[in-house]
A and B are shown apart, each in its own frame.
Chain A
Amino acid sequence: MRASTVRLLARYAVLTALAALIIFPIYITIVNSLMRPAALANGPAWWPSHPTFSNYTAAWTDARMGRYLFNTTVVTVAITSMQVVTAVLGGYAFAFLMFPLRRVMFVVYLATLMIPGEVTIIQNVATIRSFGWYNSYAALIVPFVATGFGAFLLRQSFLTVPRDLHDAATLDGYGHWRFLWRVVVPISRPAIGAMALFAFLGAWNQYLWPLLVTADDRYRTVQIGLKQLRGQNLSNVTVVFAGTVLAFLPIALLLLAFSKQLVRGLTAGAVKG
């Protein structure tokens, strides 16, 4: 064998070993989620020899993961779509409009990035209770419909919209709303997509807040469902595996479909262009 071939094989060997190491927990989770509990009596399965979906049925109905997934979807879609709207509006105001206290407002937006949720939860739970929103979709959605980060991100993107386009639109008699929806939003679609995916991921994976403001299956989200599942199925680890896959799979497929936006969203600010 030529030296270059050996080196090539070595490269693949290293890549494969690393990939195997990283994917191992997920692989074992999927394989064992397809096994009958009895089949694991002699140790964990490394290969789904007689796959069954009974664990998924159990997780979906008995452990209510279906309901939790539904709740998470409702909450996540609502938060994401509303964050997109508020961030587009905020980004536009800061990028294209002159108004009194503009700098102050910008600092207000930035300040929200510096206040961790842990500092506000004590009062926020009390507020939610006083609104009568405890254990409701409103409690899970409303506090998160505005985003300083998203507005900031979109402002950065809107600032790159060529000034000429704005002048041309003004000459054509476009008002601000028409300019926003017909020009700015369409050409900023990649940035908005990245921001939306980022919002989606954050909302889907929330843990502490849903734990504090939900009390029963009607509103519990899938992340909290995992805690529930773990508590109830100590003797039945295959069902826990199936539930974990159910919580993991939708977001994995989504990220696979939108991997470009993901990279953009997660690295915004990390790499200086």
Chain B
Amino acid sequence: MRSRSLGANGMASRSHSRARREATLAYIMLGPSLLIFGVFVFFPFVKNFTYPFYSQSTAAGFGAFGGAAKSKWVGWSQWHAVLTSRDFWHSAWVTFQFVVLTVPVGIGLGLFLAVVAHQRLRGITIFRTIFSSTVASSAAVASTIFFSLVGTESGLWKLRIHGHGVLDDKTWALPAIALVAVWQSLGLSFIVMSSGLQSIPDDLLEAARVDGAGSLRRFWKVTFPLLSPTMFFAFVVGSISAFKTFAEIDLLDPIGKETGGTSLLAYQVKRLAFDGESRTGQAAIFAVGLFVIVLLLTVVQMRLERRVHYAR
């Protein structure tokens, strides 16, 4: 082989100064990013684990970070208090319910739309554009639309259940928010599922058709299994983002957002750390809970991705 590779052999044959120049260049390229990661990702990440060891009880909670701290070392007691509290586990439970309400429905609907739109028809592009349209809507836009349509204060249709607004109903507030989240993520789900469908070779489906498989059978025996990597990806990414849901709660202001049936974890982090009396130690533990969930999901995904894709 005449062409030189950049592998270990290439390194050895190169002069020492050239290797050093390359290393310098690499760190010039990575340097700015590493600085940002250090200051805004890794340092605050590590620091977050120290907050629970202190009690912050000042209203002006930020003094506690700068140096003139009004915080007191409390050891593991705050960890213990939060991790045995009803609020923490209830919040985790509610968040889990929310994920279960949103992610499978979102993926299922996205897949359904993708299958329906996966046909050669005149004007199908228009339908595909409409099906993916909600991707342009942020969580804030979706929440504001929902609120303006059915909110009890100013909505066009003041939707009422058991005599009060849907967001003030203990049973229906969470499903209503889930509906907003599903609608908002539907465009994304459709796009992901569509491109998954398009990557399935037509001759496979054609062969199944020739063998006499009906359309339902073709879907369950060919399309569905071949789509499972795509669905798994959508499941992981969708779950991570659903676990971190915040804007919908902040904007829709449902009943039970503090400790009740809509107290999602991310909202608790913000509420405990920044609203009123700042309780950063408690907030940090809720944040750790979110981190553990995201970590688990990411690890599962990376394991699977490596097996399928990065086997280089």
Residues of A within 8 A of B (CB): 8, 11-12, 14-16, 18-19, 22-23, 25-26, 28-29, 32, 40, 43-44, 86, 89-90, 92-93, 96-100, 102, 105, 108-127, 129-130, 142-143, 145-148, 151, 163-164, 166-167, 176, 204-205, 207-208, 211-212, 223-224, 226-227, 229-230, 233-237, 240-241, 243-244, 247-248, 251-252, 255-256, 259, 262-263, 266-267, 269-273
Residues in chain A near residue B207, CB distance under 8 A: none
Residues in chain A near residue B147, CB distance under 8 A: 230
CA distance A224 to B246 in the complex (A): 13
Q: Is the CB of A130 within 8 A of B36?
A: no
CA distance A180 to B20 in the complex (A): 19
18 extra interchain contacts, Cβ-Cβ under 8 A, other than A119-B48, A123-B48, A124-B40? A14-B116, A28-B156, A43-B156, A98-B19, A99-B26, A117-B244, A126-B62, A148-B33, A163-B3, A176-B22, A211-B270, A237-B155, A262-B135, A269-B305, A270-B196, A270-B230, A270-B234, A272-B229
Q: Which residue of B lies closest to A269 (CB)?
A: B233
Residues in chain A near residue B44, CB distance under 8 A: 119-124, 127
Q: Is the CB of B250 within 8 A of A119?
A: no
Q: Is the CB of A127 within 8 A of B251?
A: no
Q: Which residue of B lies closest to A40 (CB)?
A: B156
Residues in chain A near residue B23, CB distance under 8 A: 97-100
CA distance A252 to B65 in the complex (A): 41
In the complex where A14-B116, A272-B309 touch, is A119 in contact with B45 (Cβ < 8 A)? yes
Residues in chain B near residue A240, CB distance under 8 A: 144, 148, 154
Chain A nearest CB: distance from B51 CB in Å? 6
Residues in chain B near residue A124, CB distance under 8 A: 40, 44
Residues of B within 8 A of A (CB): 3-6, 10-11, 19, 22-23, 25-27, 29-30, 32-37, 39-45, 47-48, 51, 62, 65-66, 113, 116-117, 119, 121, 124, 126-127, 129-141, 143-149, 153-157, 183, 186, 188, 191-192, 194-196, 199, 229-230, 233-234, 240, 244, 246-247, 250-251, 265-266, 269-270, 273-274, 280, 283-284, 287-288, 290-291, 294-295, 298-299, 302, 305, 308-309
Residues in chain A near residue B265, CB distance under 8 A: 118
In the complex where A23-B130, A93-B30, A116-B291 touch, is A146 in contact with B37 (Cβ < 8 A)? yes
In the complex where A248-B136, A270-B230 touch, is A90 in contact with B33 (Cβ < 8 A)? yes
A-B contact pairs, 19 of them (CB 8 A): A89-B30, A96-B6, A97-B25, A98-B11, A115-B45, A119-B290, A119-B291, A120-B40, A122-B273, A123-B65, A126-B65, A127-B40, A176-B22, A226-B141, A236-B154, A241-B148, A259-B132, A267-B191, A270-B229
Q: Which residue of B lies closest to A238 (CB)?
A: B148
- Give the interface centre of B36, B126, B194, B251 by most chain A CB atoms within 10 Å: B36
Chain B nearest CB: distance from A137 CB in Å? 16
CA distance A115 to B283 in the complex (A): 16
Main secondary structure of the interface of B (DSSP, over half): helix
Q: Is the CB of B138 within 8 A of A267?
A: no
Q: Is the CB of A99 within 8 A of B244?
A: no
CA distance A208 to B10 in the complex (A): 48
CA distance A233 to B236 in the complex (A): 38
- Give the interface centre of B113, B132, B157, B234 by most chain A CB atoms within 10 Å: B132
Q: Is the CB of B30 within 8 A of A90?
A: yes
Q: Is the CB of A167 within 8 A of B4?
A: yes
Q: Is the CB of B309 within 8 A of A230?
A: no
Residues in chain B near residue A204, CB distance under 8 A: 138
CA distance A15 to B115 in the complex (A): 11
CB-contact partner of A208 in B116, B130, B266, under 8 A? B266
Chain B nearest CB: distance from A27 CB in Å? 10
Residues in chain A near residue B4, CB distance under 8 A: 167
- Give the interface centre of B146, B233, B284 by most chain A CB atoms within 10 Å: B233
Q: Is the CB of A105 within 8 A of B291?
A: no
CA distance A18 to B114 in the complex (A): 11
Residues in chain B near residue A248, CB distance under 8 A: 136-137, 141
In the complex where A120-B45, A122-B273, A123-B48 touch, is A266 in contact with B135 (Cβ < 8 A)? yes
Q: Is the CB of A146 within 8 A of B22?
A: no
